[in-house]
Chain A
Amino acid sequence: MFKKILAPVDLYHADKLDKALTATGELARVYGAEVCYVGVTGSTPSELARTPEQYARKLKEFAREQGEKFGVTTSSHTIVSHDPAVQMNHELAAAVEDVGADLIVMATHPPDVTDYLWSGNGAHLAAHSDASVMLIRG
C-alpha cells in the first residue's frame, strides 16, 4: 500500500516524538515500506549542530537507530534552510517530491490561535503534496 514513508522530525525535540515515531516504525513494518527521516536545519550553528554537515550526520545516526528499533529500512534527508522559521513548509513539500514518498507521518502540535495565521506543517503538506498525510497528536 505504501512504499516510502516520509517522517519529518524535529531532532531537538525527538524525546517528545515517541508516539509519532512508534506509529511511523510500525506502519513501515506492516507495509514493508522504507522510512525516510527528514530534518530541517539552518546554515548557522544551532543548539543541536554547529554545521549543517554535523546535523546531517546526527540525522543519519538517528535514522539508523530507528531502523534497528523497528526492523525496517531507513534513510535520512537533511534540508538546509536559509530561514527555517518561515520556509520550512515549502521545503518539506519539496522534500516529498525529492524523496518520492507516498505517505507522510508526523507529530503535530495542539491547534491554537496562531493556526489561523500560519497553517501548521501538516496542514500545508496535505494541501501541497500528492502524498497521504497522517498527523499524530502528541
Chain B
Amino acid sequence: MDETLTCERAKPLLARLADGALDGAARVALEGHLAGCAACRVEREAQREVLTVLRARPAAEAPPWLAARISAEIAAESGLLGLADWRGWTLRLAPLAAGLLIAALVWGGLSSTSSPGVSLSPIVETWVMGDRTDGLPATAVFWQSDVSADTLLMTVLRSGPDDTLEAQPQDATK
C-alpha cells in the first residue's frame, strides 16, 4: 500500500496530517510512507512548526468604533444616498402615484354619485368608498407625516390580490 504513495502525492496530505485533519485510510497510507521516508518526516515537522506559530498569531481586534462606522455608512447608503437610486425613488413615489390615482377615483366617484355608470374596482370600493362619509378622502392616510413611504408601500405589496385592504392602513399608521 505505502509503495503506491509517492512523496509528491504524500505532500498535500502532510499538510492535513500535521494539523490533525486527516483520518481513515489516507492517514494509514501516509503513516506507512512516513515510516520509510525521512524527507517527508522533516516536511511534516516543518508544517507543524509553521502552523503552531500561525495559530498563536495574536488576533488583530477590530477597533471599537468600526461597527458604528459601518452601521452609519449603511444607514447613509439606504437613506440619503438612496436618493440617487432609482429603485429608492420608485419606492418613495409609488404611494404618491397611488394617492393621486385614488384621489382621481374618489373625485370621480363624488362628482357622479348618482350615476351608476361609474364602476370602481371592489378593492377601491370597499376601502375608499367605505370611508367617504366622514368627509375626508381615504387618501388622507397617505399624507400623514408619521407614516413612512416604505411602510405604506410594504403594506400594499405584502397583501395579496384577494386580501382586503381595509385594515392595513390602520396598522401602518403606528
Q: Are A and B genuine complex partners?
A: no
Task: Give the interface of A toward B (CB within 8 A).
Answer: none
